């Protein structure tokens, strides 16, 4: 029911575990062609991961980097279904999308454990487990090893779990697997935190080292802190606190009604049918310590950039006089929480760090044009429409016309996907 524009409903407020007899289970969405679902065993429970079907077709270039996609709060791997189909099926790029604990088909902590006992670090560990699993699979795809028990199996759906601890290598030397991290919202915050903290530095799948080739931040929580985002949220929803009180402090309260989900996550043009389907896949409850752990600065932009590999490898006369971008910041044109000014500030934050690393510290082999000739070039992606993007000083900034916060799901999502594809191609 709704009254006083409070948009009050208890239909989407759950205090019980989804497997409880008194709770509605979370449905797992059907997968598009070429995408499979597997489960990664961890000491706490299994993690859902959606990925390009195995065995991969011969049409996939063996050495190109895979995309690893990280969802945000209340999401799961299923928020990437459109991107998985676009990149994997249409463009032959291997893809992986993880569901962290308490999301999608992954194991579910109890309400109290998830809401008050699950930290940013816990969820980061789930993402790193997913990256580790994907790296082992990529090693096999590239013909450099075989994961025992994985061939012809798709986790639980194939009748057998997969353990990437057991990999048969073909050579004695250490190999490298390259990936591009794509993080949305709080998942983009985790991607920055993982790189800043060096959590992939010592990550080895037997003799495979993971190298991050590029970083895509889609409506991401900025590494300098999320306080301005929640100020925007409170302005959008003045009755936030009253509704939260009536919902007994449940973390889903701000997104408990279709009108609230549309207002915060999407544009007005998203069909109601898609919104209803999206809400059916949302988490039953969410960690409060995750966003609290990102309220203030939690990442060092210089450390993030230094842990992205390949600076200087792709410079050609066509890449704007030696400049290249290995960070892409994407904003939805109608995103009302991660607004354009905040996302532009995030891009500028990384550009300033890049300039320091190139000019002052000389830790990156890059090019920075200073003084009166300093420019950030405009970049136009074919078929994207809308305003031009900007590129230069190590960072590309892109806008998805007409889209809200969930720009990978909202109207115009394919425009954003083409911009990610253009960024990906210039990494090669």
Pairwise CA distance, residues 83 & 382, whole Å: 18
When the pLDDT of each residue in the chain is averaged and rounded to a whole number, the result is: 86
Residue 123 has a pLDDT of 98
Percent of the chain surpassing pLDDT 70: 81
Residue 159 has a pLDDT of 37
Residue 313 has a pLDDT of 73
Give the confidence band of 2 by pLDDT, cuts at 50, 70, 90: very low
Give the confidence band of 7 by pLDDT, cuts at 50, 70, 90: confident
Residue 23 has a pLDDT of 58
Report pLDDT digits (tens) over 272-316. 999 999 999 999 999 999 999 999 999 999 999 999 999 977 655
Q: Is the pLDDT of residue 18 over 50?
A: yes
Residue 108 has a pLDDT of 95
Residue 3 has a pLDDT of 44
Residue 96 has a pLDDT of 98
- How would you classify residue 310: left for phi > 0, otherwise alpha for psi between -120 and 50, otherwise beta? left
Q: Which of 41-50, 292-301, 311-320, 321-330 has the lowest mean pLDDT?
A: 311-320
- Sign of the dihedral defined by the CA atoms of residues 279, 280, 286, 290, in that order: negative
Give the confidence band of 260 by pLDDT, cuts at 50, 70, 90: very high
Answer yes or no: are the C-beta atoms of 375 and 385 closer than 8 Å.
Answer: no
Residue 202 has a pLDDT of 74
Q: Is the pLDDT of residue 241 over 80?
A: yes
Q: Is 180 helix (H, G, I), strand (E, B) or coil?
A: strand
Report pLDDT digits (tens) over 184-229. 999 999 999 999 999 998 776 656 789 999 999 999 999 999 999 9
**Which is more confident, 151 or 65?**
65
Report pLDDT digits (tens) over 356-402. 999 999 999 887 866 544 556 677 665 555 567 999 999 999 999 99
Q: Which residue has the tokens 């992986």?
A: 96
**229 backbone dihedrals φ, ψ, rounded to 5°:** -70, -45
Residue 140 has a pLDDT of 84
Residue 157 has a pLDDT of 41
- Spatial CA neighbour of 310 closest among 64, 61, 59: 64
Please state whether the predicted TM-score (pTM) of the whole model is above 0.85.
yes
Paired strand residues for 50: 37, 97
Give the confidence band of 60 by pLDDT, cuts at 50, 70, 90: confident
- Spatial CA neighbour of 184 closest among 14, 413, 425, 369: 413
Q: Is 171 helix (H, G, I), strand (E, B) or coil?
A: coil
Report pLDDT digits (tens) over 92-126. 999 999 999 999 999 999 999 999 999 999 999 99
Buried b (16+ CB within 10 A) or exposed e, 245-266: eebeebbbbbbbbbebbbbbbb
């Amino acid at each position: 029911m709704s009254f006083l524009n409070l948009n009050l409903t208890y239909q989407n407020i759950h205090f019980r575990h989804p497997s409880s007899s008194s709770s509605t289970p979370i449905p797992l969405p059907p997968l598009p062609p070429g995408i499979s679902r597997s489960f990664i065993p961890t000491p706490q429970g299994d993690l859902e991961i959606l990925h390009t079907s195995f065995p991969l077709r011969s049409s996939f270039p063996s050495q190109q980097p895979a995309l690893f996609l990280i969802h945000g709060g209340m999401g799961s791997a299923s928020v990437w279904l459109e991107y998985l189909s676009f990149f994997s099926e249409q463009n032959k790029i291997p893809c992986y999308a993880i569901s962290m604990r308490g999301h999608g088909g992954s194991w579910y902590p109890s309400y109290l454990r998830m809401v008050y006992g699950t930290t940013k670090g816990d969820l980061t560990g789930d993402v790193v487990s997913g990256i580790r699993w994907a790296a082992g699979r990529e090693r096999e795809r590239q013909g450099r090893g075989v994961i025992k028990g994985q061939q012809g199996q798709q986790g639980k759906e194939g009748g057998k779990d997969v353990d990437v601890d057991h990999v048969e290598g073909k050579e004695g030397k250490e190999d490298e697997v390259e990936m591009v991290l794509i993080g949305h919202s709080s998942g983009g915050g985790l991607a920055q935190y993982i790189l800043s903290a060096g959590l992939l530095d010592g990550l080895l799948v037997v003799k495979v080292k993971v190298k991050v080739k590029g970083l895509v931040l889609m409506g991401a929580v900025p590494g300098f802190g999320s306080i301005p985002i929640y100020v925007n949220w409170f302005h959008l929803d003045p009755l936030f606190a009253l509704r939260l009180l009536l919902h007994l402090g449940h973390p889903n309260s701000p997104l408990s009604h279709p009108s609230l989900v549309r207002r915060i996550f999407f544009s007005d043009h998203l069909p109601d049918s898609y919104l209803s389907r999206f809400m059916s896949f949302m988490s039953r409850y969410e960690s409060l310590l995750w966003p609290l752990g990102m309220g203030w600065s939690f990442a060092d932009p210089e450390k993030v950039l230094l842990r992205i590999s390949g600076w200087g490898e792709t410079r050609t006369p066509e890449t704007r006089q030696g400049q290249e971008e290995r960070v892409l910041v994407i904003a939805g044109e109608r995103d009302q929480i991660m607004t354009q000014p905040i996302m532009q500030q995030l891009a500028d934050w990384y550009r300033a760090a890049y300039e320091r690393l190139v000019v002052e510290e000389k830790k990156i082999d890059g090019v920075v044009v200073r003084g009166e000739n300093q420019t950030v070039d405009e970049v136009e992606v074919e078929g994207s429409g809308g305003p031009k993007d900007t590129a230069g000083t190590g960072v590309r900034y892109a806008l998805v016309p007409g889209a809200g916060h969930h720009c990978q799901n909202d109207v115009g999502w394919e425009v954003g996907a083409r911009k990610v594809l253009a960024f990906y191609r210039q990494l090669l």
